[in-house]
Amino acid sequence: MSVCVEFQPIGRRVDVQEHMTVLDAARLIVFQDQKIMTAPCGGRGQCGRCRIRLLEGTVNEPTESETKLLSADELNQGVRLACQTEVLGPVKIEIPPESLVGKQNLQLEGLDYEIEVEPASRRYVISTEAPAIHHPVSTWQQIVRELESEHNVENPTIDMELLRQEIPKEHGRQLTTVTLQDREIINRFDVFPAPRSLGLAVDLGTTKIAAFLVDLESGDTIGSEARMNPQIAYGEDLMSRLAYCRESASQSRQMQALVVDSLNKLLANLLSKTGAGIQQVEHAVIVGNSAMHHILVGLPVHALARSPYVPAATLPIEVKSRSLGLNLATGASVYFAPLIAGFVGGDHVAMIAASRIFECEGVTLGLDIGTNTEIVLAVEGRLTSCSCASGPAFEGAHIHHGMRAVEGAVSSTTWSEEEQKLHYRTIADAPALGLCGSGVIDAVASLAEARIVNHMGLFDRSRSEVRIDEKTGHPEYVIVPEEKSGTGHDITLTQKDIVAIQLAKAAISTGTRLLLSEAGLNKDDVDKIIIAGAFGSNINVESAVFLGLLPNVPLERFQNVGNAAGTGARLMLLSTRERQVAEKIAKTVGYLELAAHPKFSQTFAKALEFVGSHS
């Protein structure tokens, strides 16, 4: 039986079958080009982040997960978890501001380079004549013959789908422009001059997808756009998504389709802004971590999802765009950058290529910080990488009042010693709805600096600023009181939040320390630290150093390079030489498996401490 679910405040309705969860119903709705709700734990009732309020209608009784994560008062007020609430009849649901997905601050900027433009595709102008009794040669035959005789292309071939297209009726002689990749003709224009050749570069991240429309003739980036990765609705971390894919082939295809749909929409938006057409987009390069890569390409993920986390393939892959469902030119192909090992994927290769770490003198560390953090150590050009499961805490997940970097998120804090008070700033100066990753880092560092939190990450319960949560009995600190928040509730930093940050920062710190240790070095030997990624671009370096997330070296040694993975993707799109550089990086970089290191546990335990705070 079909029943209606109405979502407020967005006023959207959807018909679903009885016993479907509210979360699954919400996943059916797209609002302002994105899903309206996410579940960091993948809908398993573990994180408590998909809170809703039942306004009208009939649903199931609260589950065991809900009684653990929600207070009696909340349950009495109709607060439920969307992933645990089954629809038993027509219902009206309110999504509170902290659960509703907002427009995220997604980074597109990166490094800029001047390179010699030499893409994988190239164009030729061919003079053809309409077939006639005195000239019984097809247009395609003429094109192939001229490519061989005039342009020294040996044995050119034609993309089959392009060959199947009907050729417009010709009258006399005309100029035809064809695009070749290797020896294959992948595109054709029967107008002269032909519209410019375009390419698409994509940084396929766990949290966001960044796309760049590039002129393959001039090398200019003529448009860029980003959106949330829609797979977030099925889990914010890689393992949750891989687990979902492993459950069935149809679910794996569903996850693939979500990304393909987003890529097609991103490209359509970019083309509409520039006035270009799909047939002009003749090539694409996509970089991503191993999980994102495997899901989109359609590779088996079972070995990647369990120890020792082995990718099905690490070599560069090139496939026809149509085989993936991507709307590019008829014969266009998509190049996927090579992987290194484990979860160190093509995005890390792209970051290394763009930041030119391999050309740095001395000792350089490169960190691409995110849900999955990759670190590379360059010692006089010799590279070693590792992957850290830093988790989604830096994206605001697993934080009690956490959220992504959207309007209303507390993004920075400072401690006033004179006032003995914590000051905060929100994105767009909007009423506070919660804490994003950079805000949590700042808040923990500020409270540690004020000695409200000690070096082990524990609240000082003797401080008057610290209160005890009645339900859990755990201490917490009110960052934004209810009368000033946009939710009508206190926005707090809890003891559990601090633990989440400790675990995330310890993972990154452990990776850094073990990479240096294996090279016989320590932090003082590091000449430069390059920080990449959206979170890394917004982080307060001083706070990160204070907590031990980043090495304690002089601040002038840090360099922010923005979305270096996106820049690397553009380099590979524009230059076959840059593509060769990336492939060489993937083959030669060393890989350190942290979990197998004999000093991992000991180093991780030590890294939990906040190095700059007071004992």
pLDDT interval class at 174 (50, 70, 90): confident
Rama region for 548: left / alpha / beta (φ>0; ψ in -120 to 50; rest): left
Q: What are phi and psi for residue 22, nearest 5 degrees?
A: -60, -35
pLDDT confidence of residue 10: 66
Q: Does domain 121-189 have CATH number 3.10.20?
A: yes
Burial class (CB in 10 A: 0-12, 13-18, 19+), 522: exposed
The pLDDT of residue 33 is above 60: no
The pLDDT of residue 31 is above 60: no
Burial class (CB in 10 A: 0-12, 13-18, 19+), 565: buried
Q: Looking at the whole model, is its pTM more than 0.85?
A: no
The residue behind tokens 């929100």 is: 426
What does the pLDDT average to over 446-468?
93
* pLDDT tens by residue, 257-271: 999 999 999 999 999
- On whether the CB atoms of residues 58 and 89 are closer than 8 A, the answer is yes
* pLDDT tens by residue, 344-374: 999 999 999 999 999 999 999 999 988 789 9
The pLDDT of residue 111 is above 70: no
pLDDT interval class at 110 (50, 70, 90): low
* pLDDT tens by residue, 536-552: 777 899 999 999 999 99
- On whether the CB atoms of residues 83 and 44 are closer than 8 A, the answer is yes
Q: Which of 328, 344, 240 is nearest to 285 (CA)?
A: 328
pLDDT interval class at 112 (50, 70, 90): low
pLDDT confidence of residue 470: 83
- Ranges 42-46, 197-201, 415-419, 461-465, most confident: 197-201
Tokens of 261: 């749909």
pLDDT confidence of residue 124: 94
Range in 276-280, 405-409, 562-566, 605-609 with the lowest mean pLDDT: 405-409
Q: Which residues in the chain are classed under CATH 3.30.420.480?
A: 198-336
Q: Which of 438, 512, 601, 603 is nearest to 104 (CA)?
A: 438
What does the pLDDT average to over 319-324?
97
pLDDT confidence of residue 100: 66
Q: Could you tell me what percent of the chain has a pLDDT over 90?
A: 67
Tokens of 144: 């192939």
pLDDT interval class at 32 (50, 70, 90): very low
What does the pLDDT average to over 15-32?
82
Helix, strand, coil shares of the chain, percent, nearest 5, are: 35, 30, 40
Tokens of 430: 């909007």
Cβ contacts of residue 557 below 8 Å, gap of 6+? 526, 527, 528, 529
Residue 304 CA, chain-centre distance (Å), reads 18
Distance in angstroms (rounded) separating the CA atoms of residues 610 and 448: 8
Q: Which of 143, 137, 198 is nearest to 175 (CA)?
A: 143
pLDDT confidence of residue 565: 93
Q: Does domain 2-94 have CATH number 3.10.20.30?
A: yes
Look over the chain and give the mean of its residue pLDDT values, rounded to a whole number. Answer: 89
pLDDT interval class at 614 (50, 70, 90): very low
- On whether the CB atoms of residues 500 and 602 are closer than 8 A, the answer is no
Q: Which of 496, 497, 488, 491 is nearest to 53 (CA)?
A: 488
What does the pLDDT average to over 211-239?
89
The pLDDT of residue 381 is above 70: yes
What does the pLDDT average to over 126-138?
86
pLDDT interval class at 136 (50, 70, 90): confident
pLDDT interval class at 26 (50, 70, 90): confident
Q: Does domain 198-336 have CATH number 3.30.420.480?
A: yes
Q: How far is CA 127 from CA 8, 139, 176, 347, in A?
A: 61, 10, 6, 42
Burial class (CB in 10 A: 0-12, 13-18, 19+), 562: buried
Range in 391-400, 406-415, 525-534, 576-585 with the lowest mean pLDDT: 391-400
Q: Taking the CB of residue 470, how many other CB atoms lie within 10 A of it?
A: 8
Q: Which residues in the chain are classed under CATH 3.30.420.40?
A: 354-391+510-607
Residue range 354-391+510-607, CATH number: 3.30.420.40
Range in 14-23, 178-187, 365-374, 533-542 with the lowest mean pLDDT: 533-542
Tokens of 474: 């755990």
Q: How far is CA 603 from CA 336, 391, 497, 599, in A?
A: 35, 18, 22, 6
The residue behind tokens 């492993």 is: 246
Residue 170 DSSP one-character state: P
Q: Which residues in the chain are classed under CATH 3.10.20.30?
A: 2-94
What does the pLDDT average to over 155-171?
87
pLDDT interval class at 106 (50, 70, 90): very low
